[in-house]
Amino acid sequence: MLTKRIIPCLDIKNGRTVKGVNFVDLRDAGDPVELAEAYSKAGADELVFLDISATEERRKTLADLVLRVAEKVNIPFTVGGGISSIEDVDILLQNGADKVSVNSSAVKNPQLINDLAAKFGSQCITVAIDAKQINGQWIVHLVGGKEPTDLKLLDWAKEVEKRGAGEILFTSMDNDGTKDGFANEVLCKLSEELNIPIIASGGAGNMQHFIDTFTKGKSDAALAASVFHFKEIEIKDLKQKLQDNKIPVRL
């Protein structure tokens, strides 16, 4: 059985790590390079960096950040935010990123997934999907959750897999930052209907929530931010707890 992954997520705005609730009310959570190094030493399996600020200088700033992070960590890390071309990905991978995450650009141009997978390999390509429930249906949203689309979560997830994505990072906007637990019912559905790994995101508040998403949600990995940034949960303690509950993790 594959080990389950614990992934701290760093939302980057203007070079700093920030964290909000339901995608709003952002507060500062520290220097991303320092946090990355600390997580690498603490036993995180991977890291995800999402650049949520939209400045014209973003690509250059992000490439510089990736380079500085790569010098400090010895675990895989994924970078996302505003990636819309082969050139964007090339720059990030050359600077030391292991994977990239695409979201809005993939919805607007689904062929991008095929092109990136063909050029860099599926293992490099994560598609992030942000969705919330509207009238009982999980609907995909873009631009940091601000723009609803006509896409249903499961339909889009299946298309993403078909086009060559290596994994899906699913964030429940309803659960994001609430600390009430992950959206395990829909996560389970995604895991059962797709053959690529599903990363659960949105809602982590305590160790039981991680246990639940691996058992009830059948998630392959669990991503969280504030519980790690603000030291509410230590990664080594979490992994010990998971192992005690017969969930395979890398200690």
Instruction: Give catalytic residue positions.
Output: 11, 130
Partners of residue 137 on adjacent β-strands: 134
**Cα 62 from chain centroid (whole Å):** 17
